[in-house]
């Protein structure tokens, strides 16, 4: 079974500051990990995914995440926040290649202060 915990339901940073959104996972098999972003009144958009290749994964819009097996973590970072990054972010896990079912964390709402 898989589960995801996102630490912090709300994160607020200043424009230009580092963004760090935390995600810890639990999985009985090697996980496939994902970060999605959701803007108001829209569906989810994939930011990046880890599928057992490089542990540092680069995604769209300047985001990246590092898979740390020893810490069972997959934290999302961006060096410099932009106002357009304000949204809700979801970390998700699936159990194996070919698995369609995603198990999501509760989400983190990111606010950017001018």
Residues that bind other proteins (CB under 8 A): 36, 41-46, 49, 90, 92, 94, 96-107
Q: CB-wise, 28 or 101, nearer to other proteins?
A: 101
Among residues 43 and 114, whose Cβ is nearest to other proteins?
43
- Could you list the beta-strand ranges (E) of 39-85: 44-50, 56-58, 64-68, 73-78
**Which is nearer to other proteins, 33 or 81 (by Cβ)?**
33
Q: In whole angstroms, what separates CA 31 from the centre of its chain?
A: 14
Provide the minimum distance between the beta carbon of 47 and other proteins in the complex, in angstroms, as a whole number: 11
Q: Please, what is the minimum distance in Å from the beta carbon of residue 44 to other proteins?
A: 4
Nearest-angstrom CA–CA distance, 11 and 41: 20
CB of 95 to other proteins, least distance (A): 10
Outline where 1-114 has alpha helix (H).
none
Which 3 state secondary structure label does DSSP give 1? coil
Residue whose CB is less far from other proteins, 101 or 114: 101
Dihedral, CA of residue 13, residue 83, residue 114 and residue 76, to nearest 10: 10
Least separation in angstroms between residue 16's CB and other proteins is 30
């Amino acid at each position: 079974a898989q589960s995801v915990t996102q630490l912090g339901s709300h994160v607020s940073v200043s424009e230009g500051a580092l963004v760090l959104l935390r995600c810890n996972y639990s999985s009985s098999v090697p996980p496939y990990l994902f970060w999605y972003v959701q803007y108001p009144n829209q569906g989810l958009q994939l930011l990046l995914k880890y599928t057992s290749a490089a542990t540092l994964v680069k995604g769209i819009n300047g985001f990246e995440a590092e898979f740390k097996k020893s810490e069972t973590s997959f934290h999302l970072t961006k060096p410099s926040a932009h106002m357009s990054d304000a949204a809700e972010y979801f970390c998700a896990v699936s159990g194996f290649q070919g698995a369609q079912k995603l198990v999501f964390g509760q989400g983190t709402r990111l606010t950017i202060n001018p």
